[in-house]
Structure formats: C-alpha cells, structure tokens
Amino acid sequence: VVDFYANKWGWPIIDSINEAVAGDILIYRGKDGKIAHVEIYAGTISGDRAKVYNCGGKTSIQTKAPISSGYSLSQLARILRAQ
C-alpha cells in the first residue's frame, strides 16, 4: 500500500481545492479520521464533491469520464501535485 499522505516524493502540497488543477492527487479521510482513499482530480467541483478519476476497483478504473467523488470536500486531508 502506498502512503500518499506521507508524500515521500516531496511533491508540492496544495493548500486548497480552489488552487487544485486537473491531475492533482486528492487524499481523503474516512469517517473514522484515518486516511481512507486517493483519487485523481478532474478539475471541477459539483456541490461538495470533486469530479475525479477513481481507480479503486475493476469497474471504476474502466470509467472514461470523471465522476463525483464518494467523499465530500470536508473529508479532504491533503492535495498533492505530482511532478
């Protein structure tokens, strides 16, 4: 399991979703407060959910268009810009 939150690559940490761009990595906390999920930001927001590319399973990885995240923006723990 890759620990994206630890950011061992030293990628820039983005301060807010308003500064995020398509391709940034969104790291979410679950309801228990622990890091729960990672998604790729598609560049837009719908309500309190980011539009994302989710690669968490066989079905989601085959989805061609971005979807609304299953996590709310309030659960966002960190945003990374891969370089």
Q: What is the mean pLDDT of each run of 10 residues along the chain (83 residues)?
A: 90 97 96 93 97 86 90 97 93
**Rounded to whole angstroms, how far apart are CA atoms 70 and 51?**
10
Structural tokens at position 59 = 């079905």
> Are 14 and 60 in contact, with CB atoms under 8 Å apart?
no
SS3 46: strand
The pTM for the full model equals 0.92
> Are 50 and 26 in contact, with CB atoms under 8 Å apart?
yes
Determine the pLDDT at residue 63: 84
